[in-house]
Chain A
Amino acid sequence: MNNIETLRQAIDDNSITVPKLAEATINHAKKLNPQLNAFLQLDRDGALSQAEATTLNGRSNGDADKVFRGIPIAIKDNICVRGLQATCGSHILRGYHPQYDATVTTRLREAGAVIIGKTNCDEFAMGSSNENSAYGAVRNPFDLERVPGGSSGGSAAAVAAGIVPVALGSETGGSVRQPAAFCGIAGLKPTYGRISRYGLVAFGSSLDQVGIFATNARDIAHTLRVIAGRDARDATSADVEVPDYAAQIEGDIQGARIGVPRLLFGEGLDAEVRAKTEAALNVFRDLGAEVVDIELPHAKYAIAVYYILATAEASSNLARYDGVRYGVRSESAMTLKDMYRRTRDEGFGAEVKRRIMLGTYVLSSGYYDAYYRKAQQVRALLRRDYERAFEQCDVIFTPTTPSTAFRLNEKTDDPLAMYLSDIYTATANLVGTPGLSIPCGMSSENLPIGMQLVGRHWSESVLLKLAHAYEQVQPFTHRPSVYADVLKS
C-alpha cells in the first residue's frame, strides 16, 4: 500500500533508497499520465537532487520529525514551487515560473519531502470536474470516462492511482473534499487560517485554504503537522498551536457526538450515496458515538452565498493577469485598453470569464448591497448556524457530494448543476471550519462514495481521530485498475 508509513519503513529498512523511490515515482507518473492527465509538469531532475540531498542529511537525524524525509509528494499547480511552472491550469499563465516558494512548499522541503511535480486543476481552481483546465481534463482513475472532481482533480487522481502517497490541493468551496470523494481517498480542508496561503494563487481569498490528499487519516495528520501554523507572510494565518495530530489520532471515540442535518439527506441526494453514508453513520454508532439530529436553517443559501462571495473576490484577485508583467500577453493589441481586453479574452477560459463577470457584477455600484453585502450577512447567519449546531455536537456529518463521479461533459453545459455538486462542502469554506472527506464505500457502478465530517474551528484532530477510528473497522481497500504500488513497480 502506497502510504507514508509503508514508504517510510521501506526507506528506513533500506529496501529502497530515496533517489530510487523518486525515480520509481516519476516513472510511474509518466506511465499513467497519458491516461490520467494528472500532472502538468514532472520534475525528474529536481526530484532526484532533492532525493540526494535528503539522503545526505537524513542519516544523522533520527528524530520523529523525519517522517517526511524522502517521501514523494505532488503539488497542485496553483501553489508556487520555485523552479517549476505555476500555470494554475490557465493559458494566461502558460510558461510562468514563480520566483519564490509558497510557505507550504518551503515547509515540505524543510521536512525532506521530495516534490515530483505539479498537478492539473481547473483553471484558477474554478470548477468541480477538472474539465476547466486549459491543459485538458483529468480522468478519474476508477473510470477514465468520468471526472475526478475538481478543482484539485490532478492531485486527487495522483494519490488515488498510487503515484504519490500525499498531494497538496487547494479549497475555495470543496475543491479537495469533492475530488477526494470521487477518487476514493481522504481529503482535508483545514480551518481557515490553519495553513499559510502565502504562495497559493488566490481565487477567493476569504475562503481559500491549502488542502491535503492522502489514502488515510494518519497521513493527513502527518502532513498537516508539517505545513500548518502561523506564517508572518500571511496576515490571515492564525497563531494557534499546531498539535502532533498523528500522536492524537488513536483512541476510542466513545461518546463523540455526531450531528446529522436531516434536511441535507433529502432531495437531490443519490440513493446509493445516502445508503452508504447512513451505513457509515451506523459504524460510528457501533464505535460508541452518539448521533444527534441538528438543524442548519440557512444551509440552503450556502451555494448562492458562496458563488457571490467567491466570484466577487475572484474578480479582483484575477485582475492582475493583465499581460503587463508576466504570463501571456496578446500581441495583436494596438492600445493599452485593447491589450487588456485581448490578453484576458484570449488568456482566460469560459468558466473563469463567467465568474469574473459575475463577481464584477455583484460588486458594482448599485448592486453591492443587494448581492455582496447581503451575502456577507447570510454568511454571518451560517456561522451562527454552525456555532449553535456545535453546542449539540462535536462534528457535523453529511455525504461529501450528492452523487458519485459524473461522466466527462455530463455537466459542462449546465453550470448551475455543476455548482450544486458543492452543496455539502461550500459551507465549511464560508464558515471557516475544517472538513474532512473519507471514502465510505463503492456504488453499484464501482465508483467511490465519500462521507464528510465538519468540525469546530481548529478541531482537525477530532476529525482525524474519528476518521481513523472508522478506517480501523472499515478499511477502504478498493483500488482503481490503473493503481500500482510504487514499491513493487
Chain B
Amino acid sequence: MVTSNSAWETIIGLEIHAQLSTDTKIFCACSTQTGCEPNANTCPVCLGLPGALPVLNTRAVELAARAALALGLKINERSVFARKNYFYPDLPKGYQISQYDEPFSEHGELTIMTATRDEAGHARDWQPKRIGITRLHLEEDAGKNMHEPQGSAATGDDNNYSYVDLNRAGTPLAEIVTEPDFRSSWEAYDYVNHVRRALQWVDASDADMEKGNLRCEANVSVRRKGATEFGTKVELKNLNSVRFMQRAIDYEVERHIKLIEAGGRIVQQTLLWDERTNTTRPMRSKEEAHDYRYFPEPDLQPLIVSPEFIEATRHAMPELPDARRDRFMRDYELSFNDASQLTAELALADYYERAARSSNNPRAAANWVRGDLARELETRNLNIAQSPVSAEHLAALITAIDTNRINGKQAKDVLPLMMTGGVTVDEIIKSRGLEQVSDTGEIERIIIETIAANPKQFEQYKAGKEALFGFFVGAVIKQSQGKANPKLVNEMLRAKLAE
C-alpha cells in the first residue's frame, strides 16, 4: 500500500466510456438490445456496407446533453463529428465516427466528494475536490471479436476461427476525459462513482461496469513530490469494476515506485488488469504508435445544439444528486453520510423523500430506509424500486410509533410482515392484536391487579427499594400481553405506587 507520507506523488487521469441508453444505435435504426444472436441487430449502416450512410439519432444527443448537464458541464453550441481511422475486424468501416477538435463539451470541471480510506477501507474525512474535465464527446462503439479457443473448432477442421459480432457496433457512447487531476486511487474511485451516479440519475446511461456499459481506462504515472514534469505513464484497461480500477491503480503505482527506486525505467504501454491474479500484464497485440488521421466526417452535418434545446433538456431533468444531498442535509437535518447514502440513486432519494414527508419524521424515515428496510430488501435481493413496502406504507409504520399505537420493538416485527406486500400497517396491527392499550381505565385495572398479586415487592418498594419500579412496569406490560402503552404504564404506575 502506498502511504500518504511517501516521497512520491501519484498522477491519474481517467477516460470513461458510457453507453447512452437509447433504444436504437447512434447512426441507424438498429436495436441496442444485448443478448441477441450475433449480428441480429445489424443493417447496411452498422455493417459498414459500401454506400451506406450514417444519420444521427437525436435521442443520443438528448442523452449526451443530459449527461453533460448532470456533470455540470457546458455544451458547445456547435460540435463536429470526425473520423478516427484505424483497422480492426470489429470496426466495420475502418474508422470510428467520433468527435475530435470540436467536441460536444470541453474545458469543464466538476466537484466530487472524496475521502481517504483507513486500513479496513472505510472512508474517512470527506472533502470536496475539483476535477478538470477535458472533454465529453459523442461516438459510436465498435463490435466484438470472438476467438475460438484452441482445439474447439466448430467447423470440423483443425483451424481455430475468429468471429465478428457487430450487434454492439454503432451503440452510442459518451466519452468523458479528465485532466490528470487525481492524486490517489481513491480519488479516482470516488470520481467514477460520482459520474456513474450522475449518469444513472438522469437516465443517460445504465452505467453498469460489470455489464460493460460503463468502461473506464486510467492513465497512471508517478513522480517525486515537488517535481514539475510528469513521469512516464501507462494506460490501464480491462477494469471491470470500480474496485478493480482502484486496485489496478495501486498495483501500478507501487510497481512504478519500486521500479524507479531500483533504477529502472517505466515503459509507456497499455496494460490489462488481471482480476484473478491481481496483477497487470501488457496487451498481447503490441500497439504501434497510432496515427488516427482524424478529419471531419463529411457524411454528417456539424451538430448544432440550440440554447433552447439545452434549456428544455435541463428543465426535463430531476434535481441533481449533489443539490439534493445538500437539501436533505438542510431540510431534513441529515448528516453528510446519511444524505449521501440516501442520494446514491434517484429511486432511493425519491423513496426516502416520500417517506420523510408522509411520516413527517425525516430522521426516523432515514433510519428505517437505511436500516431495517435496506436489510429486508437485501435479504430478498430486491432494490428500492422493487420494494413491496411503499414509501407511504413505511411512513404509516413510522406514524404508528409516533402516535403510540405500537412501540418501536413491535414495529421492527411488523416490517417483515409488510414485506410480503399488499398489507398495510393497520391491517397487521389489527390482525395481530398489536394495538397498544392506552385506555387509562384498563391500564389502572391491570396495575391494581398486579400490585395485589405482588404484595411482598410492594412492601419492599414502599420501604425504599425503588429499583423494583422496573419490576412492576415489566409485570404490568406482561399482564397486558405486551399491549399496554409503556409511557402510560410508567406514568400511572409511578402515581399509583406513590399513593
Contact = CB atoms under 8 A, between A and B. Distances in A.
Interface of A: 78-80, 86, 88, 93, 96, 98-100, 102, 197-202, 204-206, 232-236, 312-313, 315-316, 318-320, 322, 324-326, 336, 340, 360, 363-365, 368, 372
Contact of A80 (B48, B50, B55): B50
Given A236-B299, A319-B94, A320-B92, A363 B293 contact: yes
Can you list the 5 inter-chain pairs with the closest CB atoms, starting with the nearest?
A: A319-B94, A205-B298, A206-B298, A363-B293, A201-B50
Interface string B294-323: 110011110000000000000000000000
A80 B51 contact: yes
A319 B87 contact: yes
Contacts of B51: 78-80, 86, 98, 102, 197-202
B92 A236 contact: no
Nearest to A86: B50
B95 A319 contact: yes
Given A235-B301, A322-B94, A325-B164, A336 B89 contact: yes
A290 B241 CA distance: 74
Nearest to A363: B293
Contacts of A96: 50
Nearest to A80: B51
Contact of B55 (A232, A340, A368): A232
B295 A372 contact: yes
A98 B50 contact: yes
Contact of A325 (B52, B53, B92, B295): B92
B108 to A, nearest CB: 26
Contacts of A88: 50
Interface residues of B, number: 28
B320 to A, nearest CB: 33
Contacts of A326: 49
Nearest to A237: B53
A205 B52 contact: no
A315 B83 CA distance: 11
A303 B85 CA distance: 25
B50 A313 contact: no
Contacts of B49: 98-100, 326
A96 B49 CA distance: 10
B282 interface: no
Contacts of A78: 50-51
Given A80-B51, A201-B50, A312 B291 contact: no
Interface string B367-393: 000000000000000000000000000
Interface in B36-52: 44, 47-52
Interface in B216-241: none
B52 A198 contact: yes
B56 interface: yes
Given A98-B50, A200-B51, A316-B95, A205 B299 contact: yes
B292 to A, nearest CB: 8
A108 to B, nearest CB: 15
B93 interface: yes
A326 B166 CA distance: 14
B47 A360 contact: no
A203 to B, nearest CB: 11
